[in-house]
Structure 1
Amino acid sequence: MINTVAWFEIATDDPQGAEKFYGELFGWSFAADEAAAQGGMDYRLIGYPGAEGPAGGVYATGGATPGHAVFSVVVADTAAACDRAEALGGEVTFKLLDNPNGPDFAYIRDVSGNLFGVFTPPRPAGA
């Protein structure tokens, strides 16, 4: 559903450590995101026991960005959400639009400096 929290991400330079920690703590499972891998990104999908599909991911930063844990909101239009956030006093810190390997997404800091994400699911082929 649009404008709801639909994903979370844990970014770390130690993805194996994160998998071990969260896997043992919560019983989460992890699987490589093949589409992200095709684009050169190490991203691992997080699944919950009994869940139908993944609900989050572990992003292996390789030390290129600080570690973080954020929630992400599904939006109808990532670019429009970024524009609106900036108009409201937020700051877009990263934006990837027309992503050939997955959803359009962005990281935004709210007016208090808190980081969160927004994303628009990829359109089905031919849509």
Structure 2
Amino acid sequence: MANPLGSFIWYELMTTDPDGAAAFYGPVVGWTIASHSDPGAGGVDYRVIVRGDGGNAGGVLGLTGEMCDGGARPCWLGYIYTPDVDASVAAITADGGTVQMPAADFPVGRIAMVTDPQGAPFYLMNPVAPEGQEDRASDAFSESEPQHVRWNELSTTDPDAAVSFYARHFGWTQDGDLDMGEMGKYRFIQHHGATIGAIMPKMPEMPVSLWSYYIGVDDIDRAVAAIEAGGGKLLFGPMEIPGGEFALNGLDPQGAAFGLVGPRKS
């Protein structure tokens, strides 16, 4: 794979209603989510998210009753690339992380779900490239383009430890921050020259340490109207951010938290 170790290469919405998610995120972001499961999904309801440019933004996993009984809830999760999933799992558990889903082979690659030492979950993945596209790079993350995830934000009980953890395991760096006063510092994180997001202290209203993902939109006000029309809930924002764009946090109709970022055109 052309992406380096530590890249966010895929994003997944876990939801109790894939059709409802398709009806919501289509108008909000501009995505098309398939009306049926991917034939190669191995018996689970898994649907690919397609951007307007034809690329893949991620996937949607339909949660079964059994999954929900086991504790699964609607949420967004990110996939981080590693060429050796098993070695990464072993290193992360030795460093205080936990395994949520043991490493296993799927038609799309080898995957495991882990948490960092503060409890924030994420996937590890070594994908199987399509034949003839072995050097293909994932573009699910983009610093600037709409319909891609543009920002990865970790809210954690121990920002210092989190910065060190992700640097050790994925080669991330931390340079620059924004002083939020009593809320602490908002620390920017980089990977191979790109600023990929930030690490911040967990706010008291958040029950656990958690990653949040901000999806790019072409017009933040148009997206707000679509959230409200589609049965979602606006939690915070839109708020102007450095550079002149706007960001917000919301809940989709099934209860999955998401972020959006984009310009204000009106």
TM range, smaller chain = 0.7 to 0.9
2:108 corresponds to which residue? 102
Unaligned stretches of 5+ residues in structure 1: none
Q: What per-residue deviation string (whole Å, max 9, x for no partner) do you get for residues 24-77 of structure 1?
A: 1001012342210xx1011010111114x2121000011313222111111101
Opposite residue 84 of structure 2, the aligned amino acid is D
Residue correspondences, number: 121
1:44 aligned onto 2:47: yes
**Counterpart among 29, 54, 57 of residue 55 in structure 1:** 57
Q: Secondary structure of 1:111's partner? A: coil
| Amino-acid identity (%) | 33
The 1:33–1:96 alpha-carbon spacing in structure 2 relative to 1, beyond 3 Å, is farther
2:88 corresponds to which residue? 81
What is the TM-score normalised by the length of structure 1? 0.85
Aligned residues: CA RMSD:
1.7
What is the TM-score normalised by the length of structure 2? 0.43
Larger Rg: 2
The 1:13–1:85 alpha-carbon spacing in structure 2 relative to 1, beyond 3 Å, is same
The 1:123–1:95 alpha-carbon spacing in structure 2 relative to 1, beyond 3 Å, is farther
In structure 1, distance between residues paired with 2:52 and 2:129: 28
In structure 2, distance between residues paired with 1:24 and 1:124: 30
Opposite residue 75 of structure 2, the aligned amino acid is H
In structure 2, distance between residues paired with 1:84 and 1:119: 15
2:156 corresponds to which residue? none
1:8 aligned onto 2:11: yes
Unaligned stretches of 5+ residues in structure 2: 132-266
Opposite residue 107 of structure 1, the aligned amino acid is M
